[in-house]
Amino acid sequence: MTTIPTKGDRIVKAAVLIIAGLLLFAPFLFQDIRSLEVAARICVFIVLVASYDLLIGYTGIVSFAHTMFFGFGAYGAAISLKQMGPGWDAVVVGALSGVLVSTIVAIAIGLLSLRVKAIFFAMITLAAASVAMVLASQLSQFTGGEDGITYKTPDIFKTATKLMVDDNNKVVRLFGVKLNGKLAAYYFVFATCLMLFLVMLRLVGSPIGTVLKAIRENEARAEAVGYRVVAYRTFVFCIAAIIASLAGTIYAMWLKYTGPDTTLSFTIMIDILLMVVIGGMGTLWGAVIGAVLLVLAQYYLRDLMGTAAEALHGIPILPYALEPDRWLFWLGIIFILLVYFFPKGIAGTIAERGAKP
C-alpha cells in the first residue's frame, strides 16, 4: 500500500535517518560515557514510545500500564540473571518470561476492559500499573524491593572484555574508541532496538496497520466493514506489551540494574506520553523525534542553562532565571511552546504543513 510521500513526509523521514545515523556512530562521534548512556537510553525509549504509539496513535487506546510491561521485561531479565548467573540462557529465559507475563496480562486486561469506554480503560490500566509497582516493592525477595536488583550480564558486555587485541594484548582502538564490552553492549542495544522498530514499521505498513488506522478513525465503520474492533485492539495491546517488555529486557541488560524507578515509575509513563505527544502520534517517526528531544533535554538542558547563566553573568534577572536548578520549569515552558506551535506533534505538523508532493 503506497501513499505518495509529501514534502513534509520527506523532511520527517530525513530527520529520522539522520538520527539513526548519529545513533549508529554515537560511540565514535561522542566519545564519553555519558553520551553513550544517553544514546542507549534514546534507543530504548524510541522502541518504548513507538510501541506506545501503536496503542494511542494507531488505535486510540490510552493506557497507563505501558511501564508495567516495560517492567515485566526488565525484572524478567534481572531476576533470571541474578538467579541463573550471567549467561545467554538467563537472558533468553528472562526475556521470554517477561513476554509471557506481559502477554497474559495484556490479554486479560484487553478482553476484560477494551469493551468499556476509553476513560474506564485508562483507569483500569492505571490500577494495574499501581498494583505492579506495589508488588515490585513488596516482593523484595525476588525484586529487591525499593533498592532493586544489580546483576551481571554475559561476559561479552563487561567493560573489561577485549573484543579485539593487538600484538601487546591491549584492546584495539578504532578512531580512538576501545573495542571493548561496553561498545558491544551499546551495539547490542542499538541492533535489537532497530530490529524491534523495523518490526513495528512492518506491522503498521501491513494490511493490519490499515485496519488499525480505520479503527482509530471510526470504530463503528470498521465493524460495518467486517472487523471486530475488540479483537484488533486486544491484539495491538498484546503486541505493544510484548515490544515494551522486550525493550525492558534490553534496558535491563544495558543498565545492569533494575529497580522501580528505572522501569515501573509513573515518571517514565509521563515521559512516554510527552514523547508521543511532542513527536506526533500515529506515525512511529514521531516517536523517534519525541524520544530524542526529551531524553536530550533531560540530560543536557541543565548543563546548557548553567552555561547560559554563566555567559549572561552581570545582566539583571537572566542568570537568576536560567539557574540550572530551574531546568524543569524551562522544560515545561519548552513543552508548552512545542504543543502550541506543533499541535499534531513535530512529525505530524511538519508532514501536514509540507503537504505538497
Partner 1 sequence: MTLLSLNSMKTNIGQYSVLHDISINVPEGGVFVLLGRNGAGKTTTLRSIMGLWKPSPGSVTFRGQDITNLHTADIARLGIAFVPENMGIFGGLTIEENLILATKTGQFDQTRLDRVWELFPAMKTFWTKQAWSLSGGQKQMLAVSRAIIEQRDLILIDEPTKGLAPSIIDAMADAFREISETTTILLVEQNFQFAKSLGRDMAVIDDGRIAHAGTMADFVADKELQESLLSLSA
Q: What is the binding site for partner 1 (CB under 8 A)? A: 1-4, 207, 210-211, 213-214, 216-218, 220-229
CB of 294 to partner 1, least distance (A): 26
CA atoms within 13 A on the CB side of 151: 32
CB of 10 to partner 1, least distance (A): 15
CB of 279 to partner 1, least distance (A): 18
Nearer Cβ to partner 1, position 6 or 298?
Answer: 6
Nearer Cβ to partner 1, position 207 or 316?
Answer: 207
CB of 248 to partner 1, least distance (A): 32
Nearer Cβ to partner 1, position 170 or 228?
Answer: 228
- Residue linked to cell 513476554: 99
Nearer Cβ to partner 1, position 31 or 218?
Answer: 218
Distance CA 168, CA 224 (A): 72
CB of 117 to partner 1, least distance (A): 16
CB of 12 to partner 1, least distance (A): 17
Nearer Cβ to partner 1, position 37 or 223?
Answer: 223
Nearer Cβ to partner 1, position 2 or 169?
Answer: 2
CB of 1 to partner 1, least distance (A): 6
Nearer Cβ to partner 1, position 4 or 160?
Answer: 4
